[in-house]
């Protein structure tokens, strides 16, 4: 079962209200996405910690309903 890009965005924005989130369906199959997330919550955290914050926001869907997510994170300039 595929996951909708809007649902991914909604989950991230609920967990990180200040986040700017862009989601791209890489193959058009609802299974392979790229996401760029910018949030102040990432400041002072290393890349692994930033990604863990996003995975937590996805509430266990990563690797299950959400098959693949190419993730880029950053802090606001």
Tens digits of residue pLDDT in 21-77: 999 999 887 778 999 999 999 999 999 999 999 999 999 888 777 878 999 999 999
What is the reported pTM?
0.89
Distance (Å) of CA 9 to CA 37, 45, 47: 9, 21, 19
pLDDT value for 1 = 59
pLDDT value for 16 = 98
Q: Which domains does the chain have, with CATH numbers?
A: 5-74 (3.30.300.90)
For residues 77 and 60, give the distance between their C-alpha atoms in angstroms, rounded to a whole number: 30
Closest CA to 11 of 50, 43, 55: 55
Chain CA centroid to CA 58, Å: 7
φ and ψ of 18, to 5 deg = -90, 0
pLDDT value for 22 = 97
């Amino acid at each position: 079962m595929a996951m909708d890009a809007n649902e991914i965005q909604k989950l991230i924005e609920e967990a990180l209200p200040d986040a700017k989130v862009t989601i791209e369906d890489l193959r058009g199959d609802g299974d392979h996405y790229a996401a760029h997330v910018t949030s102040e919550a990432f400041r002072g955290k290393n890349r692994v910690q930033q990604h863990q914050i996003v995975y937590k926001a996805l509430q266990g869907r990563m690797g299950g309903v959400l098959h693949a997510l190419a993730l880029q994170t950053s802090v606001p300039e």
